[in-house]
A and B are shown apart, each in its own frame.
Chain A
Amino acid sequence: MANEDGSKAADAAKRALEQIERALIKQITALVSKLDTERGDSALLSDKEALANASKIRSQIVRAMEEQALASIATEVDRAALDAARAVADSLDMGDFNPDVVREIEGIISGQMAEVTDAFSKGADQIAEAMRLGVTTGDSLDNAIANVADAVHASFAKAQAAVDAAIMGAGRKVAVDDATAAQDAAGEPIVMLYVGPDDQKTRDFCAEYVGKAVRLDDLGKLDNGTDLDAETFGGGYNCRHSWAAMLRSEAEAQGIEIVEV
């Protein structure tokens, strides 16, 4: 009986994977066929990466299927996907994409990223708690990264980015919590100075705020354009910036701009 149940579950999983994979391949193939080969628009570089990521996600799904001994199906979809991937690779050398296509691609990816975000959120809570206690170790982080990667069949790099963001998020969370207590103790408003680099890798969101201060009560209103809140995660994954608490009166005395959000 147990074997029968297991067999049914495997069949159901197989069908679900087939559907996901075929839908994904169909969409990628359709999108690739609509690629705009016009040159000259360098503003879409990040979108090229998004398309490349879609291809990576496809390969992750194939790998998951292989691991469940669905080799024949995996081979079939891989062949179709390879054609799509080849077209993607060719197009990367040819030029940029039509923005409409890019938006559709992002739609595909966002569904996958939701899984990562979910797994990440669960892990982040544990990491945040460990950080508060100051007991996080390299070993526990190795485990966290591996767990996130395993849970969503995400790449190691993606899982690590999520875990790193969680650790950084915990640090920012402590800074904000401490600033809230400091504001109560001082009886004067506290502002948070956004501290960190301003170089060619800096995101637009971070570049806008770095070197400036935000009222403590306004942090929750910041929008970095990602699923991760700016108060805790700054500009998002791999953000190098942090919050520095200071009295508003001191910031004004130093001539630091206080941004109204």
Chain B
Amino acid sequence: MASSITFVGASGKPTPNWPKIADFLSAIVPGAIRQRVQAGLDIHGNPLADYSPEWKAKLAAMGEAQNVDLRLTGGLMGSVKRLQKDLSGNVLTLTFGSGAGTSAEVSTPAAKASQVARAKGESGGSAAYKKRQALARASARETERYGVSRQRGKAVRTGNRSPQWNLLGRYIHYGGNGRPPRPWLGLSPDQRRDIFRQLLRLGMFKFGGRGTSGAE
């Protein structure tokens, strides 16, 4: 899962500013993506598709906000960075994406549900507590499938794990299996204009040029 930004030098040869432009965008583009996703907007500037009622209920049980921000552990968003820098002739291409890292076990509703129950001071017999525990048990089964189980306090490898963030990011971006696409990696048209305006204002396009961007 990657998104690229390409610049073509107008003079027909590499601009001496390419390294500076690359350095600047390497920080600014991931920041812009995080900021836009946090605002719940996709790469077209439209609202990201809402979460399902079931997932919202789970988030609520975990004590988490239900707005669409594509965060559970924060790992996916936190790992967005420049993956590649290619300068070929007078063409500079920067590729952005999420890291390959993954948690062996997604941050489980099991532990979170217990934390919430304790924080709320719910007693063991209450309906809310039982509901949280049911969610926790269901989540533990999921964890067992994708993560690592525990035996006498030691990790036991099951051979399964949660999807790597770049795969997770791809699933989210394109949807599938009944899940709606939530195109998130890349810049919206407004963001592209904003960033090019910043580059111009900073005097980085001394020699002219043009830029394009797109996902994969």
The residues of A that contact B161 with a CB separation of less than 8 Å are: 138-139, 141-142
Beta-carbon contact of B111 and A157 below 8 Å: yes
- In the bound complex, what is the Cα–Cα distance between A190 and B34 (angstroms)? 16
Residue from B34, B71, B75, B82 in contact with A244 in the complex, judged by beta carbons closer than 8 Å: B34
Beta-carbon contact of A190 and B27 below 8 Å: yes
The residues of B that contact A145 with a CB separation of less than 8 Å are: 104, 148, 155
| Chain B, residue nearest A247 (CB) | B198
Q: Is B103 an interface residue (CB 8 A)?
A: yes
Give the contacts of B98-119 with A (CB-CB under 8 A): 99-105, 107, 111-112, 115-116, 118-119
Beta-carbon contact of B26 and A142 below 8 Å: no
Residue from B63, B81, B152, B162 in contact with A174 in the complex, judged by beta carbons closer than 8 Å: B81
Please give the distance in Å from B59's CB to the nearest CB on chain A.
Answer: 9
Q: Is A49 an interface residue (CB 8 A)?
A: yes
Give the contacts of A177-206 with B (CB-CB under 8 A): 178-179, 181-182, 184-188, 190, 192-193, 195-201
Q: Is B32 an interface residue (CB 8 A)?
A: yes
Interface centre among A197, A198, A238 (most CB of B within 10 A): A197
Q: Is A150 an interface residue (CB 8 A)?
A: yes
Q: Which of A20-28, A79-87, A100-108, A129-137 contacts B (4 or more CB under 8 A)?
A: A129-137
Give the contacts of B59-74 with A (CB-CB under 8 A): 62-65, 69, 71-74
The residues of B that contact A187 with a CB separation of less than 8 Å are: 202
Q: Is A160 an interface residue (CB 8 A)?
A: yes
Give the contacts of A71-117 with B (CB-CB under 8 A): none
The residues of A that contact B111 with a CB separation of less than 8 Å are: 157
Residue from B24, B81, B115, B154 in contact with A182 in the complex, judged by beta carbons closer than 8 Å: B24
Give the contacts of A216-261 with B (CB-CB under 8 A): 238-247, 250
Beta-carbon contact of A178 and B30 below 8 Å: yes
The 3 closest A-B pairs by CB, nearest first: A240-B74, A244-B31, A138-B161
Beta-carbon contact of B101 and A245 below 8 Å: no
Q: Is B178 an interface residue (CB 8 A)?
A: no
Please give the distance in Å from A211's CB to the nearest CB on chain B.
Answer: 9
With A141-B103, A193-B35, A199-B64 as known contacts, state yes or no: A171 contacts B81, CB within 8 Å.
Answer: yes
Give the A interface residue count (CB, 8 A): 66
- In the bound complex, what is the Cα–Cα distance between A229 and B34 (angstroms)? 21
| Chain B, residue nearest A242 (CB) | B78
Beta-carbon contact of B65 and A199 below 8 Å: yes
Binding site for B on A (CB under 8 A): 42, 45, 48-49, 60, 63, 130-131, 134-139, 141-142, 145-146, 149-150, 153-157, 159-160, 163-164, 167-168, 170-172, 174-175, 178-179, 181-182, 184-188, 190, 192-193, 195-201, 238-247, 250
- In the bound complex, what is the Cα–Cα distance between A155 and B116 (angstroms)? 20
CB<8 Å pairs between A and B, sample of 19? A45-B121, A136-B100, A141-B102, A142-B157, A149-B153, A160-B105, A175-B27, A182-B28, A193-B34, A195-B35, A199-B64, A200-B63, A200-B116, A201-B62, A242-B34, A242-B74, A245-B28, A247-B28, A250-B194
Beta-carbon contact of B154 and A149 below 8 Å: yes
With A171-B78, A199-B64, A239-B74 as known contacts, state yes or no: A141 contacts B28, CB within 8 Å.
Answer: no
Report how many A-B pairs have Cβ atoms within 8 Å.
Answer: 185
The residues of B that contact A195 with a CB separation of less than 8 Å are: 34-35, 38, 77
The residues of B that contact A167 with a CB separation of less than 8 Å are: 75, 79, 101, 103
* Given A195-B34, A247-B28, 18 additional A-B pairs, CB 8 A: A48-B118, A134-B100, A136-B100, A142-B157, A153-B153, A156-B155, A164-B73, A167-B75, A178-B27, A178-B82, A182-B27, A186-B202, A200-B63, A200-B119, A242-B78, A245-B31, A247-B198, A250-B194
Residue from B64, B107, B194 in contact with A238 in the complex, judged by beta carbons closer than 8 Å: B107
The residues of B that contact A149 with a CB separation of less than 8 Å are: 153-155
Beta-carbon contact of B65 and A198 below 8 Å: yes
